[in-house]
Structure 1
Amino acid sequence: MISLELWRAKFESVYGPGEIIQGSDMLDSQAMQYARERFPDSKYCIVRTWVWFDLDVSDDQRKEMLEKHGAQPSFIRADRVVFDSKSRFEQGDWVRTSALHSFEEGFLFRTSNTVYMLLGIGYRAHAMPGLIREAAAYDLTMGA
């Protein structure tokens, strides 16, 4: 098991300053059962080793995004898909979400069409909009 300080060092080396945050502590099997019961008719994706990016945008840009799309300029980039209900991603793939519509129960990150279940330790950082595209090049699970 990797210590919190090692996780922090790995995250900071790639994404800069931020904070370690905790998603759900469910086991993968528990998360799959929870999702099947809670979201029987919705798309969901269970992920681990994730980063929550809050994009650095102006107040006007943030307001426009909320008004036009009902979303906030926050995204998740996860290094490990545990399970995707619609088989869009294979187990072990990485995924980047679309913008945040709501965050519930401390681990359910909802976008316009999918609920992402954030399991285990994650990281929250601020980023310039261009970093979201660049983040796809990094895999924090390497050497973990």
Structure 2
Amino acid sequence: MTDLLYGPGQHMAGSDMSNEDAMTYARNSFPFGNYCIVRDWIWIDLDVTDEQRSELAKTRRHPVILFAHGVVIDSERRWDIGDFVRTSPLHIFEEGFHFKTRHTVYLLLGAGTRKQASAETVARIF
């Protein structure tokens, strides 16, 4: 788990917006909320069986989750500034930095990493 959270991975780029610009962007783009702006994030491709992949596909989700070490702001106040967050599976990835789950858009700021892990390993992340 330590390697997953802190080890090297494939570099990915999020938006280069400042925190303040991202907050303005989010408020304008998602006026009804349900967004969370994050930094220091990890895109995790889940090792799943064909059956698990099929079950996710039935609900138009992908075997990918996001873990972020740093919440900048959460519109619903589920997490405080600086908290970590683990998402539910990816629904849609858009604009090169919009990681959308079924209920929330996570805006990825700055550099991130892409890694692969089992669902069991990811489930151990609180």
TM-score, normalised on structure 1? 0.80
Are 1:55 and 2:42 counterparts?
no
Gaps of 5+ in 1: 1-12, 137-144
How far 1:17 moved relative to its partner?
Answer: 6.2
Deviation at 1:42, TM superposition (A): 3.4
SS of the residue 1:93 aligns to: coil
- Aligned identity (percent) is 49
1:31 matches 2:37: no
Question: Is contact 2:33-2:76 (8 Å) kept?
Answer: no
1:130 counterpart SS class: helix
Q: Secondary structure at the match of 1:31?
A: helix
Give the aligned residue type for 1:60: E
- 1:127 equivalent in alignment to 2:108: no
Q: Tell me, yes or no, if structure 1 residue 83 matches structure 2 residue 73.
A: yes
**What corresponds to 2:9 in structure 1?**
18
Measure the CA separation in 1 of the matches of 2:80 and 2:10.
Answer: 28
Corresponding pairs, count: 123
Structure with the higher strand share, 1 or 2: 2
TM-score, with structure 2 as normaliser: 0.91
Which structure has the larger Rg?
1
Distance 1:22 1:79 in 2: 15
Q: Could you tell which deviates more after superposition, 127-136 or 51-60?
A: 127-136
Greater helix fraction, Structure 1 or Structure 2: 1
- Amino acid corresponding to residue 25 of structure 2 in structure 1: Y
Amino acid at match of 1:18: G
Q: Give the corresponding residue for 1:74.
A: 64
Which sections of structure 2, spanning at least 5 residues, go unmatched? Answer: none
After superposition, the C-alpha distances for 1:30-55 in whole angstroms (9 at most, x for unaligned) are 00000000000130000000101010
How far apart, CA to CA, are the structure 2 residues paired with 1:62 and 1:42?
Answer: 29
